[in-house]
Each structure stands twice: as structure tokens, then as C-alpha cells.
Structure 1
């Protein structure tokens, strides 16, 4: 074992000792990148599987926010997420320890069950309006969630303007593109439905939808807030989309307004601009196409 591997092993052992009281031999140990901005390990001790991920000193508060996100969704009882076992700092690194999610073959009703459970999650609302009590992260991008009574205003101010402003500052978009967004902001109140806020996962694509040991859904890596549930459904269409049975089950349990398919590109401007800021200008053609349409 290399010195780096020994140091990582000792780092993980300290976390286990603190939060699980485990001092036994680690039976299985798989190290890998946990997303784009942190490291992670999946390990097994006796019959228990754990999942630990940690930052490399950047993005302070990322895992503290994720732990809150997981606990917020878990408290609804609507859909399964990993149980948080511990969150903190060690050796100037922030870490998050969770139960491991063991996988099995999908049940035949996996997609229908998933759609129903997401609809039930979205039926959780709040009187505070659109937002959340704390800032969290989508990927490594801070996500501002200050409460706003009007959902369209929240989407413009706390979602689009934050990302457009950052992209303009970093010269990833031109002033002309930013001006097109300004024109769009004026039109959005007449284009988006003014729905009550719904508790949403916030980063719902196929990579964050896991099949658990029962062959059903477990969601991971949430960046939740109370917002437009249509924004969540629009996000699921990115990177391949979900099975049609998922959408049919969702709509049967919590119907949405007509014309949703025409609104999908508007909602997806937010994750696309997040990708522009995190990963580069390769996502700009899709952004420009949407702006040209609307």
C-alpha cells in the first residue's frame, strides 16, 4: 500500500470510529471519484455497507448542506434517500458519511413507483414561499435560496440571474447573450405557471437515481428547495430522460398544467448555465438555441 493510500485509509478509519464505533477489519474497500469535486469510498464492515465522501479543502459547507438536504427529504417519508451517519471536518477536509445503498435488479414496477413517490414528495409545500432556509450547492456551484413569495421572481433572481451574472463576470458569455436573458426575464411571468412551491430534489437526473436492494428508487445528491415542480420534471429530461412509465405515474398522481413540454427548455436554462459555469462553453449552443426560441 502506498503512503497516500495509507493516509487515506487512516483518514477513513477515524471517520468510522467517530460515527459508527467501528474498529473491525474493513472487509471490502472501493475508492473512486464521488462526482466532479470530491473523493469517495464505498466500504463494508461485516454486514454493513458505508459510503463516505470528502472534499479536498474547497467548497466549505457543501457536505453540511447536503446532509441537511437528505434529512429534509427523509423527513417527508415520500421517497427513500441514504441515511446520514455523520458530517464534519477532519484534517481540513469536509466529509459526509452515509449508509451505503446496496443494489438489486429493478422491480417491474420501478418506474411507476418512482413517479408516484416523486409526486408525493412534490406535494410537500411551505407557507414561506419559494426557497429554503439555507444556501446549498448544485454540483460545486453555490445555490442561493432566499425566500421569495413569487415563484417566477425566485426563478429569475435566485436561479437565472446568479448563473448569468457569474458567466458574464468570467467572460463565458458575451454582454449580448446577457442582454437576451434580460429580455427573457420580462417575458417569463407570462410563460410560466404561478404554482405553489413544492419540495424538489433539485438535481434529478439518471446519475442521482439509484436502484436500492428492494429494486426500487433511492435518490442521492439532492440540492433541494421549495420551487417549481415543473423545473424538476424538466431536469429529468436532460441527459437521456426517464422511462415514459415514470412520467405517466407522476401525472396520474399530481397532474401539471397543459403546455409543459413547451416550457421544458425555459426551466433547463438554469442547469445549462450551471454547466457553462462549471464545465465550460460547450453548453452555450443549447443556451443560445433556447434564447433564440423565446
Structure 2
């Protein structure tokens, strides 16, 4: 069983709010191996390793939306553009030093609030990925105010290539809207794919 490095173990403990993180051979309740099993303060968790945030995003977020699109609409133009774009996607992540962050996944003004002592979030679709994903989401749905983004980039400077790379994250949301709400979102998604095919 692979061993977590210190940084990964610390990040997972913080994300899960657990002091314990001990390897185990326990399978999930349905007997299916869902990743490496670890005992925590909250019970057994399953962690899949050795996958970069960008690989996870492409395989389990973006490709998933295209599979749904194929099932729902079988759109020939989208299928052809996706087959071309899929080959180009690695170029957008070349040289990017992406450190996985625990993301909200649907960060927008309507999904955040605060109490007297804590921030509160609603309707998460959380995963570990590139922090820019949440920023793109927030900008698409009303924004959080320029002061927020300025302060954010003072702490974590904008990475080289992020403006074009962030359009890939935007594409995910347009495809998701197309799948959920219908073809009124097709034009924007197709237009963005054509733009991305010009390269980073």
C-alpha cells in the first residue's frame, strides 16, 4: 500500500479534521475497493492517490460532462471539438505548479454566508483541485467584489497562463449548465471550445 508523504498526510488530516490517520485493509461496505483505506477519528475514509489535480479535473469533471452531453444530446459538433480539445488540454497545464486545495466546487455569492464566528457554505460539490476553479465559479455568478480578488491575489499571485487556463474551468460550468438546463447554453460552450482550440 502506498505511503502518504508528510505534506499529503498533514493536508488530509486538516481537511478531514482528524488527528488519526492510520492505514487499514478494510474494504467499503459493498466490498468494493474505492482507494486506499485509512482509519480516522470519523471512521474509515478511502483515498485515491497518484493523480494530479489537473488529471482528476479532466477525467472526473470535464470528461464526465462530455459523457453526459453525449447521452443527452449526441451533439456532433461538441463531440468533434471535444476530441480535438482533449489532445490540447495538457498544454494549458504545462509549467503550472498546482497545489491541491479543498474546493467548494460551486462557490458563488448565494452559496456563502457567515455567523458571528465562522464562515458558512451551502451546496458544495467539493473536491481537491486547483484553487482557481473556485475563483472562476465565483466570477461567473456575480462575483465577490474586486476587493476580494485583489486581496486573494496579494496572498496567492496569479500564476503564469492562468487567464487562458481558467477558461477550461469556465467550460466545465457551461457544459454543466447545458446538461442541466438545455441547449440555450450550447452556443457559449461551443464558442469557448473553439477559442480554447487556438491554444494557450
Please indicate the TM-score interval, normalised by the length of the shorter structure: 0.5 to 0.7
Task: Label 1:282 to 1:215 Cα distance change in 2 as closer, same or farther (>3 A).
Answer: farther
Question: Between Structure 1 and Structure 2, whose CA radius of gyration is higher?
Answer: 1
Pair 1:75-2:17 in alignment:
yes
RMSD (Å), alpha carbons: 2.6
Higher strand proportion: 1
| Equivalent residue number for residue 79 of structure 2 | 178
Contact 2:103-2:129 within 8 A present in 1 as well:
yes
* Alignment partners' CA distance in 2, 1:215 and 1:196: 28
| Equivalent residue number for residue 21 of structure 1 | none
Instruction: Summarize deviations over 1:236-257 as a string: whole Å, max 9, x none.
Output: 1112222011111111222230
| Equivalent residue number for residue 65 of structure 2 | 163
| Equivalent residue number for residue 186 of structure 2 | 284
Q: Between Structure 1 and Structure 2, how many residues are aligned?
A: 155
Pair 1:257-2:159 in alignment:
yes
**Following TM superposition, by how much is the alpha carbon of 1:215 offset from its aligned partner in structure 2, in angstroms?**
9.2
* Alignment partners' CA distance in 1, 2:16 and 2:54: 27
| Equivalent residue number for residue 103 of structure 2 | 200
TM-score normalised by L of structure 1? 0.47
Pair 1:228-2:170 in alignment:
no
Within 5 Å, give how 1:239-254 maps onto structure 2.
Answer: 239-254=141-156
Within 5 Å, give how 1:16-95 maps onto structure 2.
Answer: 75=17
**Following TM superposition, by how much is the alpha carbon of 1:146 offset from its aligned partner in structure 2, in angstroms?**
5.9
Contact 1:150-1:194 within 8 A present in 2 as well:
no
**Following TM superposition, by how much is the alpha carbon of 1:225 offset from its aligned partner in structure 2, in angstroms?**
1.0
Stretches of structure 2 that go unaligned for 5 or more consecutive residues are 1-13, 19-44
Higher helix proportion: 2
* Alignment partners' CA distance in 2, 1:176 and 1:146: 34
Task: Label 1:204 to 1:234 Cα distance change in 2 as closer, same or farther (>3 A).
Answer: same
* Alignment partners' CA distance in 2, 1:269 and 1:276: 10
**Following TM superposition, by how much is the alpha carbon of 1:228 offset from its aligned partner in structure 2, in angstroms?**
1.3
* Alignment partners' CA distance in 2, 1:272 and 1:233: 15
* Alignment partners' CA distance in 2, 1:217 and 1:246: 15
**Following TM superposition, by how much is the alpha carbon of 1:270 offset from its aligned partner in structure 2, in angstroms?**
1.1
Stretches of structure 1 that go unaligned for 5 or more consecutive residues are 1-71, 77-132, 135-144
| Equivalent residue number for residue 271 of structure 1 | 173
- What's the secondary structure of 2:191's corresponding residue? helix
* Alignment partners' CA distance in 2, 1:146 and 1:181: 26
* Alignment partners' CA distance in 1, 2:182 and 2:48: 27
**Following TM superposition, by how much is the alpha carbon of 1:203 offset from its aligned partner in structure 2, in angstroms?**
0.7
- What's the secondary structure of 2:99's corresponding residue? coil
